[in-house]
Amino acid sequence: MTPPRHNLRVDGSRLWATIHETAAFGGTPAGGINRLTLSREDGAVRDWFRDACLAAGLEVGTDALGTQFALRPGRDGARPPIAFGSHLDTQPTGGRFDGVLGVLAGLEVMRSLNDAGIETEAPLLLVNWTNEEGSRFAPAMMASAAHAGEFTTADILSRRDAAGISVAEALAEIGYAGEEPVGARAIGAFVELHIEQGPILEAEALTIGVVEGGQGIAWFDGTLTGFESHAGTTPMNRRRDALLGLAELALAAERIALAHAPSAVITIGEAVIAAPSRNVVPGTVRFTIDLRDPQAATLDAAEAELRAALGEIAGRRRLEAELTRIWRKAPVPFDPRLVDAVETAAGALGHPHRRIISGAGHDACNLAGIAPAAMIFVPCRDGISHNETESATPEDCTAGADVLLHTVLALANGPKSE
């Protein structure tokens, strides 16, 4: 084995070019990406990724949920691979870096090791997880969760989008219903590079976030039902207006989150009036709630307070209310040994860094349930993500890829895990 060189770096120019090359798949006029999971655009970028991995000499496979795996063999094939990657799907008006950076930086790690002629002890495994975003199918991060045993394959394949199309049908449409059983590939460790999606690193002029864990997340589907009536003839005090009930709930959610400041955040991200008309009092409103906090106890308390507020509002306004929790992810601490490895790599490379908690959910949070996991953050401009204006610098992307490279090498060439 050729020993790793202390001055080993990725090709930052090649990484930057690759990021912008793949942005053409689902590219928007505003410079972002609309690449919903299992869409035609997602199928096209998956084809590109497969071909690029094959060109790098990697062994490519796909599981039954469409997750793509690219293996670089190691000297000791009995060791489980050191895995890394993220996702290539985006929000409807997403940017060029969220998820994409982690996958393409992983590809650049493989290419750079090839260029340097370096062979690792443990195999290396690059992964593109299906449906991390959750913008087309719920829940988010469904493929990595299924890999970790949190869902069955049949359950995920049966999930449907707003148009009634199932995951199974969408996979078949783009040709990515793979034959590998979900969860069949063993993973020795998982490292994910990602933009921060928040403002902390940029505000503190830091290059690397050493992620210690991810906060808990709970998703809810809700319905408020009143009574549709004529907008011109129904007095205000006789109305059973579902939309006004939701407006009150939104303000109550804000108060609840602020009461658990600074960590708790609550978002009503979707609200749909059934059969809307400008001269009809809204009779039914369907909505979603996204609740997050690093502490499980706070999640529980905030959920109880939301339910109490919804019940009080519905009772006073003579509405029927339903609130169903469709998904909950407990707060996730990352593996201390892997976190230390990321911090050691950042320090050895001379990058200013700090430890940080992830405010967003990531595939690494699911993988942490079955293998040691950690994450690397790099800054994004103004902390903006899930937006076409999402931006990161070439220098920061390269720095993150370098930290990923040296973290992976340290893990792959370290002692065998117990």
Report which residue type is found at 96: R
By CB neighbour count within 10 A (0-12 exposed, 13-18 middle, 19+ buried), where does 13 fall?
exposed
Task: Give tens-digit pLDDT for 184-216.
Answer: 999 999 999 999 999 999 999 999 999 999 999
| Inter-helix orientation angle 394-412/100-116, to 10° | 60
Q: For residue 2, what pLDDT is reported?
A: 41
DSSP code, position 80? P
φ/ψ bin of 381: left (φ > 0), alpha (ψ from -120 to 50), beta (otherwise): beta
Q: For residue 248, what pLDDT is reported?
A: 98
Q: For residue 416, what pLDDT is reported?
A: 79
The Cα–Cα gap between 280 and 340 comes to 59
For 254-384, where are the E strands, in sequence order? 265-267, 271-273, 280-281, 284-293, 320-329, 332-333, 353-358, 373-378
Residues 6 or more apart whose CB falls under 8 angstroms from that of 59 comprise 70, 71, 72, 73
Residues 6 or more apart whose CB falls under 8 angstroms from that of 302 comprise 256, 257, 260, 264, 266, 291, 293
3-state secondary structure 214-234: ECEEEEEEEEEECCCEECCCC
Q: For residue 367, what pLDDT is reported?
A: 97
CA 147 to chain centre: 15
**What is the model's pTM?**
0.84
Domains annotated for the chain, with CATH where assigned, are 12-215+331-412 (3.40.630.10), 216-329 (3.30.70.360)
Task: Give tens-digit pLDDT for 54-110.
Answer: 999 999 999 999 999 999 999 999 999 999 999 999 999 999 999 999 999 999 999
Radius of gyration of the chain (CA): 23
| Angle, CA of 357, 362 and 368, to the nearest 5° | 80
Q: Taking the chain (418 residues) in consecutive chunks of 10 residues, what is each chunk's mean pLDDT?
A: 65 98 97 97 98 98 98 97 98 97 98 98 98 93 96 98 97 98 97 96 98 94 98 97 98 98 94 97 98 95 98 98 93 96 98 93 94 98 95 98 98 82
Q: For residue 139, what pLDDT is reported?
A: 87
Terminal C-alpha separation, the chain: 23
The Cα–Cα gap between 45 and 60 comes to 15
